[in-house]
A and B are shown apart, each in its own frame.
Chain A
Amino acid sequence: MYDKLLEINNLHVNYKTADDVVYAVNGLNLSVRKGETLGLVGETGSGKTTVALSILKLLPEKIGFISNGRIWFESVDITKTSEKEMRRVRGEQISMIFQDPMTSLNPTIRVGEQIAENLLLHKKDMTKKQISDRVDEILRLVGLTKEKKNDFPHQLSGGMKQRVVIALALACEPKLLLADEPTTALDVTIQAQVLSMMHKLKEKLDTSMILITHDLGVVANNCDRVAIMYAGQIIEEGNIRDIFTAKHHHPYTLGLFGSIPDMSKKTRRLAPIDGMMPDPTNLPDGCHFWPRCTDRMDVCKMCEPNPCYKDTHMIKCHLYKDLYNERGKDYIVGKDE
């Protein structure tokens, strides 16, 4: 039933500044199937937003470059498409919900017109009346009254603005929705509302979604599959069951879970991961996580681990080298080596 909608192969993205090259994404592999929600999880600075911007080819001009790799969107290689064709893809096929609803809307244009602009750009055969009806409809879908279309963004609350941003992204019923931390700027009650609304809309319009977040709770409730990102790479990937209930995890994932409060245990403090994200201008050799890893071995410092698979579950770590071998046994090598 699932077909691949988006496939990213060995993506490398660099930001070139005056003195340094920032290696933001380093050999990322990712795929999204039709109708699926993929959660992309990682710390600030792990390259999540860069991946989303690369898919839309909206990396900052003259600074951000896709240096290697392919992004296939329905048998079209986005890295090779021209700007003109990309414009047809943006907004209609792939659209993006940006991080901060407060600044993502143009303050001088009425929200209705901002939503209508999307339709005007892509649905050339629609009449004015149809467009205005569609704007009303999409506003109703995101839970706003149609009178709100005459408001300017500053007249709306944060939650309403986020709804408008979502309406804007969904106006043309895109095939793929990139939601970049859509709820980070909102408080918890609105967060839940917005997420459940997004979920409903996704089901209704049958869109695929990449949900970028650093909130594992959000992931657990909304995603079919999860990819965990660290220093520009996917270090663990699997369906929701693999990530939340499987026995084996990447040490970084364990660290992430360790930093969520657990109500069933009696601890006075959370256990954060020691250290900082490596400097993306100067990444460590071998596995990028080894300087912070509690289970590091000598091999980690030398060579980059290959992805290890067990059914749908992928871990990129030397610890699980033989996790999925021909005997089907899941034993751990390395610890006693």
Chain B
Amino acid sequence: MLRYIVRRLLILIPIVIGISFIVFAILSFTPGDPVMNIVGNGADEATYEAKREELGLNDPFLVRYINYMKNVFKGDLGKSWNYDTKVSGELGRTIPKTLILAITSVGLMLLIGMPIGIISAVKQYSIWDNLSMAAMLVLTSMPLFWLGLMLMLQFAVNIKWFPAAFPTEGLGTIKHWILPTVTCMASMMAALVRTTRSTMLEVIRSDYIRTAQAKGATERSVITRHALRNALLPVVTLVGLNFGLLMGGALVTEKVFGIYGVGYLLVNAVTSRDVPLVMGSILFVATCIGVVNLFVDVLYVYIDPRLRSEYVKIKIKSSKKLQI
């Protein structure tokens, strides 16, 4: 297993390099002048040229890319063009917020969504099932920003349970995180409940569930011991995907609640054409998504023993390759 994980992590390196190249190329070849943004419209020719030279923009594209990557491998993500601060410092300030938001909202989503999905499936077409399906439909069709604003209006402005604005420095308190977490969770939750419900429905109709019932197992044990694990795979996929996406920042939530997370940072950097900042964020997001995917794949193998033999095949193949 360890070998498999290491292999996957090694594969991640060329993938991230590829992504960095594509993003770097897009940033370099899009029209518009980043230097103008920095020095301002009224600057004279000499200042402008000096800045261009300083940022290395007079070099050919490939030279610039290779120089950038050389620094990255040395562990230096460069300085932001706009703020003149270190990119690593900017990321260090934003990543914790994004992480907190991602972990809390995914955690809460699992805690609430899974049981709802399971109960909906077990009690299919009951009032509970119909109600939760209707609620999930409402949640999916609600625009995220609108939900965020409404929650803010109701709970922060009208009844003042939670603060509306997020502090500019530091990570805030639990109270600051409740509304963003709920907002962020809302849209993903609907997908989770629906997936859990439909896979559970499929599983509880399968023959081995009937076998378990014929053994005389209680309904509870049939669901938790026999059905749940088999229904888990699509759920894990979905949660993994969502978590990966959230690492790129839950942009809408961050914007609405003024949380300066990775998404916020990335969008600001793109609009101001701040190449080092964009590149730094993208490298972080790409690595995160890769690692989360790997984690999901490893989790698959633990959940479904049938995949273990698949993994053994990979192992055999790779060891054969090594012999050659």
Chain A contact residues, CB within 8 Å of chain B:
56, 58, 62, 86-92, 95-96, 98-100, 103-109, 117-118, 121-122, 152, 154-155, 165, 168
Contacts and interface: CB of A to CB of B under 8 A. Distances in A.
Contacts of A105: 208, 211
Contacts of B125: 62
A91 B208 contact: no
Contacts, number: 74
B231 to A, nearest CB: 10
A117 B217 contact: yes
A62 B306 CA distance: 33
B211 A98 contact: yes
Contacts of B304: 107-108
Interface residues of B: mostly helix, strand, loop or mixed?
helix
Nearest to B217: A121
B210 interface: yes
Nearest to B206: A103
Contact of A108 (B214, B305, B309): B305
17 contacts: A86-B216, A90-B213, A91-B216, A92-B216, A96-B214, A98-B207, A103-B207, A104-B208, A104-B211, A107-B208, A108-B304, A108-B305, A109-B226, A118-B216, A121-B215, A121-B217, A154-B306
Interface in B55-105: none
A111 to B, nearest CB: 11
Interface string B169-185: 00000000000000000
Contacts of B213: 58, 90
Contacts of A58: 210, 213-214
Nearest to B211: A104
A88 to B, nearest CB: 6
Nearest to A115: B215
Contacts of B291: none
Contact of B305 (A121, A154, A165): A154
A106 B212 contact: yes
A166 to B, nearest CB: 12
A117 B206 CA distance: 18
A159 B154 CA distance: 64
B218 A87 contact: yes
Interface string B287-324: 00000000000000001111001000000000000000
B230 A108 contact: yes
B8 interface: no
Given A108-B230, A109-B226, A56 B214 contact: yes
Contacts of A154: 305-306, 309
Given A107-B304, A109-B226, A152-B306, A90 B208 contact: no
B160 interface: no
Contact of A95 (B215, B226, B303, B309): B215
Nearest to B303: A108
Interface in B196-237: 206-208, 210-218, 225-226, 229-230
B206 A90 contact: no
A98 B207 CA distance: 8
A179 B206 CA distance: 18
